[in-house]
Chains A and B, each alone.
Chain A
C-alpha cells in the first residue's frame, strides 16, 4: 500500500463524497424543512443527466449544456413540488413514500418513452478527456478533478446562501419553526417551492457530473438515493453541515473499503477467503456505519441546532 495509491484513492473517495453531498443536500433540505420524504429525488438526478446529455449533443459543448441543464432541472423540481408534493404535505410519511414512488415509475417510463431503453453517453471536450500528473507517476483523470472542483464550488455556494443571504435565513427559520415564519408574513409556499427547486438543481448537477463517467441510464438514481438516505441519517436530518461531513465520510469509507479491505483481510485470513469476503463486507460497510450511528446517536452526528 504505497503513498501515491493512498492519495489517489483519497481523491476518488472525495469525488464520490462530493457527488453524494450534491444529492443528499437537497434530500436533507426537503426532509428537514418541508418534512417531506422524497423518494423521487433520484429521478431528478437522472433527469439532470438526460437533459445534459441531450443538450451536449445539441450545443456540441458539455460545459454550456451543464450551465443550461441545471436551471431546467430546478424548474422541474419546482413543478414537482407544486403538483405532486404540495397536495401530500398534510398527509403522513407513508403517503409521501407511496406518492413519490409512483412518481419514480412515471418518470422512469417517460424517460424510456422519450430517450429509449439504451441510455445516453455524454461526450467530453478534449481538454477534459486527458489526465493531469500530480507528481512522478501519480496521475488522475482531469474530469475527476473537475467533479471535485465543481462539487466543492456547489457546496461553498450552498453554505454561503444558507448562512449569509436573506433566502438562506428564511430557509433556516423555516427549518426551525414553519408556523412562525408564515405568521411573519413570509410566502411559505413559494419558499418551499424554491427549496425543492434548489434541491432538484443540486441533484441534477450530480447526475450531469457522473454521466460522462458512466452514462445517463434509466433507474440510475435509484441506487444513489439509498446511499443519500444513509448520508442524511448519519449526518442528521435537516443539517447541511451534517450532510457534507457525512457524505465525505461515506464516500471515503466506501472507496477505501473497496480498495484496501481485501489487503487488510489477507493479513489474518487465507487469501481466498479474503478475496471472497472483502467485496461483500465493503458493500455493507456504509450500512454498518449507519446502524452504529442509529444505535448510539439516533439524531445523527450533526443534527440541526433547533428543531
Chain B
C-alpha cells in the first residue's frame, strides 16, 4: 500500500507540467536620479497589476524582477544583461527612455527573449529595426506630437517654435510635429539631456519669445516638465506664446505644479493615447485602485506598464505557461487579447499598437486635484509612420 502511494505520488509529480516554474518578467525603469519619480509610478502600476492578477497568469506563477537603468544607456544595458543572463527571465519589459531601449534591445533579442516597451518608442525600432520578439504597449515617439501638429492646424496656429531634449526621443518628437504641422517652424532648440540634463531654459525661452512665433511646442518628460512649466510662467509668456506640449504636463508634474501654485497650467492642452477619464471597465478599476493605494492619479507611464503586465499575463495564460514554444507565445501576444486600460487595440505589422489619440485638457477634479480630461479624439486607429519600413508582415 505504502509503495503504491509512493508510486502514485511520483507519477503525479511527473505528470505536473513543465510550467510549475514561475514565468519571470524583468522590468527595467529608472529608480534613481531625479527621473526616479517616473520609475516609481511604473513600479507601483506593475505591482498593482500583479495584485489584480493574484500573481498568476492562469495556473502559472508570475514573478517580476525590477532593474534600475540610472537614466543612462550604459547602465540600462548592463542591468538588461543581468536580467537576461543571470536571472534568465522570459520577458524584459519597461524602458522609459528611447536611448536606453536602443542600447539594450540586442541583449534581449539576441537571447531570443521577448522585449516589451512600456514607454519608449524610438522610430528605428518601429521601422528598420523591428523584430518579431519586440512588442510595445505604448506608441511610436512621433505619433503623439503628430496628433499635436494636427490640433495646431485645426486651431489655426501659423508659426511654431520647438524645444526638446537632445536625445533619440527628442528628435523623434520634433520630427513628429514637423510631419503634420502645416505652418512655419521658426526655430528649434535641442537641450542637453541625461543625468546632468539642462533644467534652466532661460536662454531658450528668450529666443523663443524673440522669434515672434504663434506658439511654443515642447517635449520635456519627468522632472524637467515641471521645471519648464514654472519658467514658462515666470517668464510671463502665456499671453504672447501659448504652450502646446507632449509628455510634459502629466500626472508626474501636475501635483508639484499644484503645490507650488502654478495656475497658468490649468486649461493647457496635451495629446495622449490614454487618460484617467477614459470610460472603460479596466481603466476605472486601474485608476480607482491606484488612487486608493498610492494617493494620487496614475500617469500614462503607469497605465502603459499596467498594460504590459496584463499583455504578458494574457499570452502566458494562452500558452499554458509553456515558454519553450516561442511561435505560439508570439502569436498569443500578437492577439492583444486583454482588457487594456486604453480600450481595445490591435498590434500593427511592426507589433506596435494601432490605437486612438486624444486631446486632453488640464482641469481641476471634483476633489480640487489637478488632472486631465479628454476633450476630443484626434486620431482613430492611428498607424505609426515607420510601420511601412518594417519588413515583417
Binding site for B on A (CB under 8 A): 2, 4-5, 8-9, 12-13, 15-16, 57, 108, 112, 117-124, 129-131, 139, 141-144, 210, 212-215, 217-220, 222-223, 226, 255-256, 258-259, 262, 275, 279-280, 283
- What residues of chain A lie closer than 8 Å to B380, measured between beta carbons? none
Residues in B197-242 with C-beta less than 8 Å from chain A: 197, 199-200, 202-204, 206-207, 210, 223, 226-227, 230-231, 233-236
Residue of A nearest to B34 (CB): A217
Residues in B178-203 with C-beta less than 8 Å from chain A: 188-192, 195-197, 199-200, 202-203
Stretch at the interface among B13-21, B94-102, B253-261: B253-261
Does chain A have a CB within 8 A of B354?
no
Does chain A have a CB within 8 A of B277?
no
Cβ contact within 8 Å between B260 and A122: yes
- What residues of chain A lie closer than 8 Å to B204, measured between beta carbons? 258-259
12 A-B interface contacts by CB (under 8 A):
A9-B206, A16-B200, A123-B260, A129-B234, A141-B234, A144-B202, A210-B200, A212-B230, A213-B230, A215-B256, A220-B34, A258-B189
Cβ contact within 8 Å between A223 and B226: no
| A305 to B230 Cα, complex, angstroms | 44
Binding site for A on B (CB under 8 A): 31-34, 36-37, 39-40, 166, 188-192, 195-197, 199-200, 202-204, 206-207, 210, 223, 226-227, 230-231, 233-236, 252, 255-257, 259-261
Cβ contact within 8 Å between B190 and A141: no
User: Given A143-B234, A215-B227, A15 and B36 touching (CB < 8 A)?
Assistant: no
| A112 to B34 Cα, complex, angstroms | 10
Cβ contact within 8 Å between B195 and A219: yes
Cβ contact within 8 Å between B227 and A12: no
**8 Å CB contact of A119 from B31, B37, B192:** B37
Cβ contact within 8 Å between B236 and A141: yes
Cβ contact within 8 Å between A213 and B203: no
- Those 8 A-B pairs whose CB atoms lie nearest each other, nearest first: A223-B196, A217-B34, A117-B36, A121-B260, A214-B227, A12-B202, A118-B37, A123-B260
| A117 to B41 Cα, complex, angstroms | 10
Cβ contact within 8 Å between B259 and A123: yes
Residue of A nearest to B171 (CB): A276
Residue of A nearest to B194 (CB): A223
Cβ contact within 8 Å between B259 and A121: yes
- What residues of chain A lie closer than 8 Å to B190, measured between beta carbons? 275, 279
User: Given A121-B256, A121-B259, A139-B236, A259 and B203 touching (CB < 8 A)?
Assistant: yes
Nearest Cβ on chain A to B222's Cβ, whole angstroms:
10
| A222 to B34 Cα, complex, angstroms | 11
- What residues of chain A lie closer than 8 Å to B260, measured between beta carbons? 121-124, 212
Residue of A nearest to B36 (CB): A117
Main secondary structure of the interface of A (DSSP, over half): helix
Cβ contact within 8 Å between A259 and B233: no
**8 Å CB contact of B206 from A12, A119, A220:** A12
- What residues of chain A lie closer than 8 Å to B34, measured between beta carbons? 119, 217-220
Known: A117-B39, A121-B226. 20 other contacts (CB 8 A): A5-B207, A16-B200, A16-B202, A117-B31, A118-B37, A118-B256, A119-B37, A119-B226, A123-B261, A131-B236, A213-B199, A214-B230, A215-B226, A215-B227, A219-B34, A220-B199, A258-B189, A258-B191, A262-B189, A275-B188
- What residues of chain B lie closer than 8 Å to A8, measured between beta carbons? 206
- What residues of chain B lie closer than 8 Å to A120, measured between beta carbons? 256
Residue of A nearest to B204 (CB): A258
Nearest Cβ on chain B to A148's Cβ, whole angstroms:
11
Cβ contact within 8 Å between B200 and A214: yes
| A222 to B197 Cα, complex, angstroms | 10
- What residues of chain A lie closer than 8 Å to B200, measured between beta carbons? 16, 210, 213-214
Nearest Cβ on chain B to A279's Cβ, whole angstroms:
4
**8 Å CB contact of A218 from B32, B207, B261:** B32
| A127 to B188 Cα, complex, angstroms | 32
Residue of B nearest to A123 (CB): B260
- What residues of chain B lie closer than 8 Å to A129, measured between beta carbons? 233-234
Nearest Cβ on chain A to B49's Cβ, whole angstroms:
20
Cβ contact within 8 Å between A121 and B40: no
Cβ contact within 8 Å between A12 and B203: yes
Cβ contact within 8 Å between B191 and A279: yes
